[in-house]
Amino acid sequence: MDLLRSLPIGLYMEQPVTWLHRIDARVKVAWLLSLLLAPVLANSPWRIAIVVFLVLLTITARIPWRVWRQQMGLLLVFGVIITLLVLIAPDGIAISQQPRLPTAEILANWPEDLTPPERLPILPDATGYRYDLINVQIAERPFNLGFNVTQRSLRLAIKISTLLFTLIYATTLFLLTTAPEEITEGIADLMQPLRRLGLPVTEISLTLTLALRFIPLVLEEVQNLVRSVRTRAIKWQKLGVRGSLQIWLMVSERLIENLLLRAEQIASAMQVRGFTSPDQHRVVWHQLRLRWWDWLVLSLLGLFWWGRVVFGGVA
């Protein structure tokens, strides 16, 4: 079990260098925020279009298949499962079904001066709208088994699955193609106007950089502890539920101790190098410079929001 390969969420892909790597971090932050905000109050076709756009973005960037399969494959499977579950679940709207023809009690007291229902002309439906899209009845006895797909359940399924996919994969793709130093420097540059309000922008940037650097260390510690448990060939059936819980509590306690030790080692290394405050020891993480392709991507962002306003609609 290799968590660094099976769970590469939040890790930076150094090789191969794609065209997404060459885009300025500030431009990618703007695109990420746009992709996360655009599905809000949008219609279903626009949400599906954003998912297709992210898939095409991954294909055109020529990200290796092993990374694409690990990060997008499980997410797509999870999205399909969520879609199916929401489709067949009750939509939450209580609709009282009214019969189209009068009941026997009404027909018994039908006035003589009115035309009986069987003599009325058959009129076609006004529109082709159907609230119930699919209604399958598997068995009525002894239980009423079946499922019903309605217009509302279809909209809810598309909304939930596309929002989950966009939120997770857009962020993952951003972290995959942007180095932690670039993210830190880009966010720090965008937050410079907040410095006038007394906000510690430099301290926030440093904390963000250390947090991003700490993610691989956490995965490595988890990987080492899981391997240590597997190499001991523990008979979980003989231990029972209580014994298994005790072992995993010990492993969790050891994991926290190792992470705190790593954090202390990083702090000691910074103090030895004379790093007392980020303002006095300014470190240039990455040189930010907008090139012509960055301006092109920014112009495409304006086109993206124009399409959101014109075609996105309101759900």
More confident site: 295 or 142: 295
Which structural domain range is residue 254 located in?
A: 203-285
- Asked whether the predicted pLDDT for residue 113 surpasses 70, the reply is no
Query: Are both 157 and 240 inside the same structural domain?
Result: no
pLDDT tens for each residue of 154-163: 888 888 888 8
Contact between 171 and 183 under an 8 Å Cβ cutoff? The reply is: no
Residues 172 and 294 placed together within one structural domain of the fold: yes
Q: Over pLDDT 70: what percentage of the chain? A: 76
* 262 assigned to some structural domain: yes
| Between 73 and 49, the higher pLDDT residue | 49
Report the Cα–Cα distance between both ends of the chain, in Å, rounded. Answer: 43
3-class secondary-structure state, position 272: helix
d(CA 135, CA 38) in angstroms, rounded, equals 33
- Helix, strand or coil for residue 134? strand
For residues 169 and 207, state if they share a domain.
Answer: no
Residue 55 sits in the same domain as residue 163:
yes
Instruction: Tally the domains of the chain.
Output: 2
Per-residue pLDDT at 49 = 92
- Is the predicted pLDDT of residue 1 greater than 60, yes or no? no
| 223 plus 170 within the same structural domain | no
Residue 53 is predicted with a pLDDT of: 92
Report the chain's mean pLDDT, rounded to a whole number.
Answer: 78
For residue 17, being part of any structural domain is answered with yes
Distance CA 109, CA 116 (A): 11
Q: Please state the rounded mean pLDDT for residues 241-265.
A: 85
Is residue 147 situated within a structural domain? Answer: yes
| In the predicted structure, residue 13 carries a pLDDT above the cut 50 | yes
Do 306 and 159 lie in a common domain? yes
Same domain? 216 vs 135: no
Q: Which of 210, 200, 209, 202 is nearest to 181 (CA)?
A: 209
28 falls within a domain:
yes
**Cβ within 8 Å of residue 21, ≥6 positions away:** 177, 178
Residue 106 lies in a domain: no
Query: Does residue 108 fall inside a structural domain?
Result: no
Residues 215, 294 within the same domain: no
- Res. 284: pLDDT tops 70: no
Most confident of 85-94, 119-128, 178-187, 205-214: 178-187
pLDDT score at 50? 92
Residue where the block lists tokens 């990060």: 71
Please state the pTM of the whole predicted model: 0.70
Residue 7 pLDDT more than 50?
no
Domain match, 72 and 213 both: no
Q: Does 110 map to a domain?
A: no
Dump pLDDT digits (tens) for 87-111. Answer: 887 766 656 656 666 666 666 666 6
Taking 80 as the threshold, does the pLDDT of residue 251 lie above it? yes
220 and 165 in a common domain: no
Q: Which two tokens stand for residue 9?
A: 């969420």
Is 173 within the bounds of a domain?
yes
- pLDDT tops 80 at residue 127: no
CA-wise closest residue to 12 among 31, 27, 28, 36: 28
Measured CA to CA, the distance from residue 248 to residue 253 in angstroms comes to 8
Give the burial class of 153: count Cβ atoms within 10 A of its Cβ; 0-12 exposed, 13-18 middle, 19 or more buried.
buried
Return phi, psi of residue 139, to 5°.
Answer: -155, 145
- Hey, which of 88-92, 132-136, 142-146, 172-176 has the most confident mean pLDDT? 172-176
Q: Quick one: 207 and 155 in the same domain?
A: no
Clarify whether residues 57 and 28 are in a common domain.
Answer: yes
Rounded to whole angstroms, the Cα distance separating 40 from 312 reads 10
Up-side HSE of residue 149: CA atoms within 13 Å toward CB?
12
pLDDT of 253 over the 70 cut: yes
**pLDDT, tens digit (0-9, with 9 covering 90-100), for 167-204:** 888 888 888 888 877 887 788 788 888 778 877 777 77
